[in-house]
Chains A and B, each alone.
Chain A
Amino acid sequence: MTKRIAVGATVFATCCIALAYASAFVPGGGEWGAWSMVIGLATMVVSLMVLGVARRGRGVGRLAVPLAFTFVVIVAGFGAALLLPVETVGGRLVLGLPLRAALVLYGVGLLPILVLPLAYALTFDDMTLSEADLARVRALGVEYRARQGAGAAGGEG
Chain B
Amino acid sequence: MIVLPPIALLQGGTLPTLAQPTIIAVAVAYFLVVAAIGVWAARRTRSASDFFVAGQGIGLWTMAVAAMAATLSGFAFIGGPGLMYSLGMGAVFIILPIGVSGTLGAWTMAKRIRLLGEARGLITVPDAIAARFNSRLARGLAAVAMLVAIIGYMATNILALGLVIDAIFGSGLFAGLWIGMAITLAYSVSGGILAGVYTDLFQGAVMSVASVLVFLFTLKVGGGDAGFAGTILPVDAPFLAPWGKMTPLAALSFFFVFGIGSLGQPHVVHKFYMLREPRKLKWYPLIMSVAVIISLLLFIGVGLAVKSLVVRGELPPLERADDATPFFLLRFTPLLLSAVVFSGVAAAIMSTVNSFMSVGAAALTHDLPIAFGRKVTNELFWGRMSTVVISIVATVVAGASGTLVAFLGIFGWGLFASTLVPSLAIGLNWSGATRAGSVASIATGLVVTLVFETLAFLKVFTFPAGVTATALALVSSLLVFFVVSWFTRHSAAATLDDDVRFVMEV
Residues of A within 8 A of B (CB): 3-4, 7, 10-11, 14-15, 17-18, 20-21, 23-25, 30, 33-34, 37-38, 40-41, 44-45, 48-49, 51-53, 55-56, 70, 74, 78, 81-82, 86-89, 91, 93, 95-98, 100-101, 103-105, 108-113, 116-121, 124-125, 128-129, 131, 133-134, 136-138, 140-141, 143-145, 153-157
- How many angstroms from the CA of A89 to the CA of B429 in the assembled complex? 49
**Chain A residues within 8 Å of B104, by CB:** 45, 48-49, 52
- The answer to whether A96 touches B107 (Cβ under 8 A) is no
B192 within 8 A of A: no
**Chain A residues within 8 Å of B498, by CB:** 140, 143-144
Q: Which residues of B in the span 243-270 have a Cβ within 8 Å of any Cβ on A?
A: 243, 247-249, 252-253, 255-256, 259-260, 263
Known: A82-B248, A87-B240. A21 touches B293 (CB 8 A): no
- The answer to whether B119 touches A138 (Cβ under 8 A) is yes
B454 within 8 A of A: no
- How many angstroms from the CA of A157 to the CA of B137 in the assembled complex? 8
Residues of B within 8 A of A (CB): 89, 92, 95-96, 98-100, 102-104, 106-109, 111, 115, 118-121, 130, 134-137, 139, 224-229, 233-234, 237, 240-243, 247-249, 252-253, 255-256, 259-260, 263, 278-279, 281-283, 285-286, 289-290, 293, 370, 425-426, 429-432, 435, 463-467, 471-472, 475, 478-479, 482, 495, 497-499, 502-503, 505-506
- Looking at the assembled complex, report how far the CB atom of A32 sits from the nearest CB atom of chain B, in whole angstroms: 10
- The answer to whether A141 touches B99 (Cβ under 8 A) is no
What are 19 inter-chain pairs, A to B, with CB distance below 8 A?
Answer: A10-B478, A20-B249, A37-B248, A49-B100, A51-B429, A51-B430, A70-B100, A74-B100, A82-B248, A87-B241, A97-B89, A101-B242, A129-B115, A137-B115, A137-B499, A137-B503, A154-B134, A155-B136, A157-B137
Name, among B103, B106, B259, the residue most crowded by chain A CB atoms within 10 Å (CB to CB).
B103
- The answer to whether A45 touches B100 (Cβ under 8 A) is yes
- How many angstroms from the CA of A137 to the CA of B502 in the assembled complex? 7
Known: A70-B100, A137-B506, A141-B119. A25 touches B464 (CB 8 A): yes
- The answer to whether A141 touches B248 (Cβ under 8 A) is no
Chain A residue, CB-CB nearest to B482: A11
**Chain B residues within 8 Å of A3, by CB:** 429-431
Chain B residue, CB-CB nearest to A74: B100
- Looking at the assembled complex, report how far the CB atom of B182 sits from the nearest CB atom of chain A, in whole angstroms: 38
Known: A108-B99, A124-B281. A89 touches B234 (CB 8 A): yes
- The answer to whether A109 touches B99 (Cβ under 8 A) is yes
Q: Indicate which residue in B92, B229, B281 contacts A104 across the interface (CB closer than 8 Å).
A: B92
- The answer to whether A129 touches B281 (Cβ under 8 A) is yes
Q: Indicate which residue in A21, A53, A91 contacts B472 across the interface (CB closer than 8 Å).
A: A21
**Chain B residues within 8 Å of A131, by CB:** 279
**Chain B residues within 8 Å of A101, by CB:** 89, 240-242
**Chain B residues within 8 Å of A97, by CB:** 89, 228-229, 240
- The answer to whether A140 touches B119 (Cβ under 8 A) is yes
- The answer to whether B96 touches A108 (Cβ under 8 A) is yes
- Looking at the assembled complex, report how far the CB atom of B248 sits from the nearest CB atom of chain A, in whole angstroms: 4
- The answer to whether A89 touches B259 (Cβ under 8 A) is no
Chain A residue, CB-CB nearest to B503: A137
Known: A120-B106, A121-B286, A157-B135. A37 touches B430 (CB 8 A): no
- How many angstroms from the CA of A70 to the CA of B101 in the assembled complex? 12
- The answer to whether A93 touches B108 (Cβ under 8 A) is no
**Chain A residues within 8 Å of B482, by CB:** 7, 10-11, 14
**Chain B residues within 8 Å of A87, by CB:** 233, 237, 240-241
- Looking at the assembled complex, report how far the CB atom of A80 sits from the nearest CB atom of chain B, in whole angstroms: 9
- The answer to whether B506 touches A55 (Cβ under 8 A) is yes
- The answer to whether A34 touches B252 (Cβ under 8 A) is yes
- The answer to whether A133 touches B506 (Cβ under 8 A) is yes
- The answer to whether A129 touches B111 (Cβ under 8 A) is yes
Chain A residue, CB-CB nearest to B219: A96
- The answer to whether A30 touches B285 (Cβ under 8 A) is no
- How many angstroms from the CA of A116 to the CA of B228 in the assembled complex? 30
- How many angstroms from the CA of A17 to the CA of B227 in the assembled complex? 37
- The answer to whether B108 touches A52 (Cβ under 8 A) is yes
